[in-house]
Amino acid sequence: MPNETTDHAAMTRAAEHALAWLDGLENRPVATTATLDEMRRRLGRPLTDRGVEAVQVIDDLVADVAGGILGSQSGRFFAWVIGGGVPSAMAADWLTTVWDQNAGIHACGPAASVVEEVTAGWLKDLFGLPTEASVGFVTGTQMAHSTCLAAARHAVLRDRGWDVERQGLVGSPAIRILANAERHGSVDRAVRLMGLGSDNIVPLATDDGGCVSPDALGAALRASSQPTIVVLQAGELNRAGFDPFEALAPMARAAGAWTHVDGAFGLWARATATHRDLARGIEHCDSWTTDAHKYLNVPYDSGLAIIRDAAAHRAAMTLSTSYLPAGGAARDQIDWNPEFSRRARGFPIYAALRELGRDGVADLVDRTCRFAQALVAGIGALPGAKVVATSSLNQGLVRFLSPAPGASEADHDARTDEVIAAIDASGEAYFGGVTFGGRRCMRISVCNWRTTEADVARTVAAVAGVLRG
């Protein structure tokens, strides 16, 4: 039975639980504490015939998940590349839920459509990307890659007189993908989803910084006259390498190739005066992906596909049926997105950008880079630790050495994993491991607006404690 009191009770209770959870970030362990069995046992209630009162459902949920929610919102969470949520973005995300717009077309949610239009303009300006580019607000970089590669596939085959939307890929000229050898796995999956086939990826050799050289790209471009998509990277995962776009993009353009960039977190360097030059020339590429749920600190799920050739983007995505009124002058998201029904993802991004402002976004990126570098240096200087990679952005790698006499690299690998596990188990900070150059390392990544100088000091002290044993 619809009931105003129930709405108020459930929403108010959720707000109380939410605030208690946020207030507890400082003192709760960053890692989860509940075991898999415990989670299954608590959440695995029978689905009853009679429903449960809304407030009770919320209270039970909060009690059942205790210890099973990872503290990735904490300022001392440095694993993967995750990011937290700035207050206005979390609040706008709640309103997005309550308004429950179907942001597939303008007619189903006019404000949701316009907010994406406005936010797209802000983002292109912030990143210094072409004003004529079109933007799809998708779930994350994974789907942004897929959207961009769909547009790229359209364009490189259109140039050979092939209409891939009508004719499909069977019998089409074969496309090859020249991609940075140290790319993120989501690129390969997008290649698979777009029917391009992972066997058609030609890896481009990288230098010590994880970057493709003009020589490597030049040789690969010359090797074939097939339709070509080049995939470059702004922000490699371990040392945040940036491909030299200024040199590479014009080479690809001259060869008739489409250049796509994975900028999941690195594209945000463009929003700062300090780090902007790392991505010099990136505006000469053809499509760019990034995440709002990482560096902008917007709740999941929030990725962006930005495409210079708006006509190719639209041709790859558009859909019209008689029961959907076309937007006319208005923007229908269905023309730019792979989804049909969809969440109104623009609201939280709009809110975060307004809350932070240009200066706030730049400061967020700049200070997390300083903190990442301080963590790498601080932890790397501890007895038994060693710096493996630093970067001028927000990533870095350290390794822990076994004190055993005559210890081998394999012993150091084991020691590294052991130290990471011990730090995580301490609840004081949270890191992940990675195999880099054949050796186990601890990855340090900072992109949460909550991280402070004090968090950095507390984390270095916690690692020192673990190393002392």
Ligand X SMILES: *Cc1c(COP(=O)(O)O)cnc(C)c1O
One DSSP character per residue, 91-141 reads HHHHHHHHHT--TTSGGG-HHHHHHHHHHHHHHHHHHT--TT-EEEEESSH
In angstroms, the CA 304 to CA 240 distance is: 19
Pick out residues in 39-98 that bind ligand X (CB under 6 A). 81
Nearer to ligand X, 154 or 443 (CB): 443
Pick out residues in 225-244 that bind ligand X (CB under 6 A). 235, 237
Shortest spacing between CB 34 and ligand X, in angstroms: 25
Shortest spacing between CB 245 and ligand X, in angstroms: 15
Taking CB under 6 A as the binding criterion, the range among 240-248, 259-267, 363-371, 434-442 that sits at the site for ligand X is 259-267
Torsion 162-166-169-175 (CA) sign: positive
Question: Among 79, 108, 112, which Cα is nearest to 93's?
Answer: 112
| Interface with ligand X (CB under 6 A), residue from 74, 119, 186, 368 | 186
Taking CB under 6 A as the binding criterion, the range among 85-93, 262-270, 318-326, 352-360 that sits at the site for ligand X is 262-270
Nearer to ligand X, 217 or 298 (CB): 298
CB 300 within 8 A of CB 294: no
Shortest spacing between CB 33 and ligand X, in angstroms: 25
Q: Applying CB under 6 A, does 265 fall inside the site for ligand X?
A: yes
Pick out residues in 270-299 that bind ligand X (CB under 6 A). 291
Question: What are φ and ψ of residue 284, in 5° steps?
Answer: -85, 0
Shortest spacing between CB 446 and ligand X, in angstroms: 13
In angstroms, the CA 305 to CA 300 distance is: 16
Q: Is 282 exposed, middle or buried (0-12, 13-18, 19+ CB in 10 A)?
A: buried
Question: What are φ and ψ of residue 223, in 5° steps?
Answer: -70, -15
In angstroms, the CA 332 to CA 271 distance is: 28
Nearer to ligand X, 294 or 399 (CB): 294
Nearer to ligand X, 255 or 279 (CB): 279
Residue with CB nearest ligand X? 140
CA distances from 33 to 48, 65, 69 (A): 28, 10, 9
Nearer to ligand X, 390 or 394 (CB): 394
Shortest spacing between CB 402 and ligand X, in angstroms: 30
Q: Count the residues of the shown chain that bind ligand X, applying the rule CB under 6 A.
A: 13
Question: What would you report as the CA-atom Rg of the chain, rounded to the nearest whole angstrom?
Answer: 24
Pick out residues in 402-441 that bind ligand X (CB under 6 A). none
| Interface with ligand X (CB under 6 A), residue from 243, 262, 283, 335 | 262
Shortest spacing between CB 141 and ligand X, in angstroms: 3
Nearer to ligand X, 237 or 441 (CB): 237
Shortest spacing between CB 425 and ligand X, in angstroms: 25
Pick out residues in 315-334 that bind ligand X (CB under 6 A). none
| Long-range contacts, 170-173 (Cβ 8 Å, 24+) | 173/226, 173/227
Nearer to ligand X, 268 or 400 (CB): 268
Pick out residues in 126-155 that bind ligand X (CB under 6 A). 140-142
Q: Applying CB under 6 A, does 264 fall inside the site for ligand X?
A: yes
CB 16 within 8 A of CB 61: no
Shortest spacing between CB 303 and ligand X, in angstroms: 5
- C-alpha angle 267-273-276 in degrees, rounded to nearest 5: 35
| Interface with ligand X (CB under 6 A), residue from 76, 153, 176, 184 | 184
For residues 403-422, one letter each, b for 16 or more C-beta atoms within 10 angstroms of the residue's C-beta and e for the rest, the string is eeeeeeeeebbebbeebbeb
The total number of residues written for the chain in this structure: 469
Q: Applying CB under 6 A, does 212 fall inside the site for ligand X?
A: no
Binding interface with ligand X (CB under 6 A): 81, 140-142, 184, 186, 235, 237, 262, 264-265, 291, 303
